[in-house]
A and B are shown apart, each in its own frame.
Chain A
Amino acid sequence: MLRQASRLLSRSVAAGSSKSATARGFSTEVPSTIDSTFVESWKKVAPNMDPPQTPSSFMKPRPSTASSIPTKLTVNFVLPYASELSGKEVDMVIIPATTGQMGVLPGHVPTIAELKPGIMSVHEGTDVNKYFVSSGFAFLHANSVADIIAVEAVPLENIDPSQVQKGLAEFTQKLAAASTDLEKAEAQIGVEVHSAMNAALTG
């Protein structure tokens, strides 16, 4: 415990001296962004206890951006209940961003993309894996790592076409009959999701 205290001390001194009072690094950088004024006032109050750790000190440092463009894209595709792909190296993914189908290659400019209901395809050599994504986000990092998070993602074979047609008809009707803004929005969402599923199954 005392060993850790000296490490924290030296880290905070180094960090404090190399920064101006207002500059703070991004929270995803290496945990040397310990607030030195906090550590000093902590030590005045509780000299025998280590300063509390923050979540960022438990995080692994972000892999650095390579100077040359890597040949493969590392994809992490996660759902709330499962990790579909974890650190998988692929050639390309095509994500259904709200601005249209976006192809992501290694060395893609860092982007945060909101996803709309649509097909996400993962291309590895000649294999293509397609998933229908309900909505989510894609974070493309400078080091060719893509983090894609979705609430629900299913392989296309698991979707039942007859239910999609039924849903589309039902929501188109609801859209015509809707009165309040909220009802209209919900019906519109239904129409969009079902049309996307329809297009995914037939296209």
Chain B
Amino acid sequence: MDRSSSSLKFLGSWADSHTHRVRLALELKGLVFEYQEEDSVDPSPALLLHSPIYKKVPALLHDGRPVVESLVILQYIDETWTDNPIMPADPFERAIVRFWCHFADDKLGPAVGLVFSSVGEGQKAAVDQVHENLQLLERELREGAFKGRRFFGGDNIGLLDIVLGCGSYWLAVFEEVMEVKLVDPDTFPLFHAWLRDFEEQKEVKETIPPIDKLLEYARGIRQMMLSLSTDTTTTPTIGAPATGNTTSNNDAAVEEIGLLQESLVL
């Protein structure tokens, strides 16, 4: 594909890990693109036009044609610009990558998000869940599908590294903001080593926002959440933002938190 003649634009939000996934993939492929920052609680007409069903970032526009959903976008990028592939060629290996991407989105991400949004006993259960999920990944690195590899993709970063890596920075952020231990290097030596190597990569450093900005952002949301919750023993859940008319300030704040929480998952 001729890079110079096609136009690439993508709509994202600076603190959204799915946005980082797409940006990283574009950078790894050496593609030129225009970026438009979206306010996560106030989508632009462009976002509503190009992502009419989910109304969320990221949305990639290639010659004006939209692609949405980060895993769909990543595979689209890989299959359209075939240099420096991020997916393996072998069908079985591709199935493994897709499986663990779903795991990241359906299990690990929500568990990490729950650590952030819960208190007391609920939070302890959420932390245990994160550990259980990390154990599964650690096992794959130690003796399973990814044994002996520096990255999940092998010697170079692949699609699964992008998916797991863009979001794993929240682990360190939440560890500090929530004062919990999520990735103990003694318990998860391989995952810890992988994350360190991932974050050292040039394109990764250029993609992920500075940690102090992320800390500030997370602290702000956590504060908002705690000030809204009236019962400290209940575990507010991450879920869809409040539906219906949000006429009161309280409802609007809850909606904002819901949307922001969604952007925080891995």
Q: Do A and B come from one complex?
A: no
